[in-house]
Amino acid sequence: MRVSWHERFADTPDVLKSPRLSQTVIPVLDFEIGGGNFITMAGPCSVETEAQLLATAHHVRHAGAQILRGGAFKPRSSPYAFQGHGLEGLKMLAHARQQTGLAIVTEVMSEEDVPLVAEYADILQIGSRNMENYALLEARSGRPILLKRGMVATIADLLRSAQIVLDNGNPNVILCERGIRTFETALRNTFDVAAIALIKQISHLPIIADPSHAAGSSDLVPALARVAVAAGADGLIVEVHPDPEKAWSDGDQSLDFAAFDAMMESIKPYLALCHPMQSERSSARRVPALRPRQAACVHAMEAAG
């Protein structure tokens, strides 16, 4: 029997597509997320120094990114690891936006920090470890939320957390698949590409992929990025560092500039197939019906299964 996704996800009605809303399009600075253009967020795991951040920002902008990522408040598994520069990091991010025109996405870890982070960032990231932090989900920021899937969260759990943000008056949620914990231990996480395909099918919220935290290893990031594009992701968030070996956090999975350029080049054929609107700027609030090439992309994925 064919599964009724609407029945299966009945407790999160507002995140599901409806006749009223088939696609949420989120305006950020002068572009949109979810509107058919593919969006790349790129930058270091942590904001370290002004020089590191600015070099990365200029580089990723020239390579086609629209958004600079970088953690100022860092959730770290070890209490002895670098916890981020806090306010100083936010100021460096704002300076990088002013220098490059890139929008800023950065993590907020507690509801008390929401007003401060919202003052500096264009998009607030709620990280995997906080996907079920209800006080944080309920905090009113006035900014779009990048909601990362928890490492042991089901798709239903992710959608429930998104529903909470929507219920608290913020319609602008971007979902993010960043890999989950499974019995497989060779990689940092298991990249759940099916989650992207399913969420594209059932939810009106944009969904992006984080191949960096999924893979944990820079040599696998481009392949996971290509797979994410083919599954219909609305964008990527990728860790990039001028000198990954010297990174203060997540160096193993960070791309250097040359590797980022090569990744951006390698996703182009997949974008041409799955995001034909990439080079057109769309301001439509609703996504148009599938174009023939998009349908071919979806069908190619289905056939591959």
What is the contact surface with Mn ion in residues (CB under 5 A)? 45, 250
73, exposed or middle or buried, with CB in 10 Å at 0-12, 13-18, 19+? buried
Q: Looking at residues 242 to 301 of the shown chain, list those that interact with ligand PEP (rule: CB under 6 A).
A: none
**How long, in residues, is the chain?**
305
Contact window for ligand PEP (CB under 6 A) among 29-37, 57-65, 83-91, 127-135: 127-135
Residue 205 binding ligand PEP, by CB under 6 A = no
Residue 241 binding ligand PEP, by CB under 6 A = no
**Which of 128, 141, 163, 203 touches ligand PEP (CB under 6 A)?**
128
59: which 2 tokens?
């580089």
CA–CA gap between residue 55 and residue 143 (Å, rounded): 26
CB of 18 to ligand PEP, least distance (A): 29
Residue nearest to ligand PEP (CB): 127
Residue 207 binding ligand PEP, by CB under 6 A = no
Residue 188 binding ligand PEP, by CB under 6 A = no
Choose between 26 and 109: whose C-beta lies nearer to ligand PEP. Answer: 109
258 φ, ψ to 5°? -65, -40
3-state secondary structure (DSSP) of residue 298: helix
Cβ atoms of 123 and 152 within 8 Å: the answer is: no
**Which of 213, 226, 241, 275 touches ligand PEP (CB under 6 A)?**
213
- 237-77-229 Cα angle (round to 5): 20
Residue 215 binding ligand PEP, by CB under 6 A = no
Strand stretches in 141-290, DSSP E: 145-148, 173-177, 207-209, 235-239
| Binding site partner of 128, from ligand PEP, Mn ion, none, Cβ cut-off 5-8 A by kind | ligand PEP
Choose between 38 and 73: whose C-beta lies nearer to ligand PEP. Answer: 73
Cβ atoms of 214 and 177 within 8 Å: the answer is: yes
CB of 210 to ligand PEP, least distance (A): 6
CB of 81 to Mn ion, least distance (A): 11
CB of 63 to ligand PEP, least distance (A): 19
Question: By rule CB under 6 A, what count of residues binds ligand PEP?
Answer: 10
H/E element, 304:
helix 292-304
258, exposed or middle or buried, with CB in 10 Å at 0-12, 13-18, 19+? exposed
The residue type of 110 is S
Interface residues with ligand PEP (CB under 6 A)?
Answer: 45, 71, 75, 127-129, 148, 178, 210, 213
